[in-house]
Amino acid sequence: MSTVQSTEPSTPAFSVATRAPEGIVLAASAAKRLAKLSAAEGKTLMLRVAVDGGGCSGFQYRFELVETAEDDDLRIQADGQTALIDPVSVPFLKNSEIAYVDELAGAQFVVRNPNAASSCGCGVSFSI
C-alpha cells in the first residue's frame, strides 16, 4: 500500500473573523473629510472615535485624528479612509454611522447612534 502526501500547504475549509464590525459605518461625508485632512497634512490620518463617561447626558463621544492604530482597534473603512474604535467603545456604537456635517451651527464629525435614548443639544453627549 502506498500513500501520497501533498507538499502544498493545506488551506482551511473556512475562516472565522476575529471580530465583526458590529454594523458600524463610516459615511461617505466622513471619509471625504478625512481624505481632505490627510491631504492638507501630507500624511495619512485616521479618525479615532471613542465613548467616554461624562458629558451632560452620561456618555460623550471623543474624536481624535491619529496616524497609527492600536492592535485591538476595530477598523471601519470607506472610500480608502479609516475610522478606529477601541474595544470598550464598540458596544456603545453598535449599528451607528460616523459622519461629517457642515451646517450653520458648525462643521464636525458626528455619530448617528440608534442606541442613544437621548442626547444633548450639541450632539456630543448621550445616554443609553
> What span, in angstroms and rounded, lies between the C-alpha atoms of 117 and 25?
20
Total domains in the fold of the chain: 1
Q: Does residue 95 lie in a domain region?
A: yes
Pairing between β-strand 25-26 and β-strand 97-103 as defined by DSSP bridges:
parallel
Q: Does residue 72 lie in a domain region?
A: yes
**Which pLDDT tens digits describe the chain residue by residue (128 residues)?**
444 444 444 444 443 333 445 889 999 999 999 999 999 999 999 999 998 876 565 788 899 999 999 999 999 999 999 999 999 999 889 999 999 998 887 788 988 888 776 554 545 544 45
Q: Does residue 124 lie in a domain region?
A: no
Neighbours of 28 (CB within 10 A): 13
CATH of the domain at 76: 2.60.300.12
Domain interval for residue 74: 23-110
**Comparing C-alpha atoms, which of 108, 90, 91 is closest to residue 99?**
108
* pTM over the 0.75 mark: no
Q: Does residue 103 lie in a domain region?
A: yes
